[in-house]
Amino acid sequence: MSELYRAEIISNQSVQEDIVERLEKELPSIQYTVIPEIHGRGVRTKKLGDTIWPEMNFVLFAYVEEEAARKIKEVIEAVKQRFPNEGISLFFTKAVEL
């Protein structure tokens, strides 16, 4: 079995649909989990889902092989270009299946 990576996307909810649609288009067999309402503080603003800081983030993670990880990176780079003012972060970690 080849090496697996955990891809973790943390982003403003406003671009969630765009990210998911693009991932499913580029990687039709991708399996992922979405945590839809995440509160936190990023570089620019807080996302707390309240009256003062009404926006929220979401998290999407998937366990993928290296080729799929590279495609995910391309997708996120394209979304960042389209929405340069939205907070969109992508992280990869090596995953170990025991």
At 24, which CATH number?
A: 3.30.70.120
Burial 36-57 (b: 16+ CB within 10 A, else e): eeeeeeeeeeebeeeeeeebbb
Q: Which two structure tokens, joined as six digits, stand for 68?
A: 């799929």
The pLDDT score that the predictor gives to residue 7 is: 98
The pLDDT score that the predictor gives to residue 1 is: 62
Residue-number span of the structural domain to which 45 is assigned: 4-95
The average confidence (pLDDT) of the chain is 93
Indicate if the pLDDT at residue 55 is higher than 90: no
User: pTM for this one?
Assistant: 0.90
Q: Provide mean pLDDT across the span 48-64.
A: 90
**Structural domain count of the chain:** 1
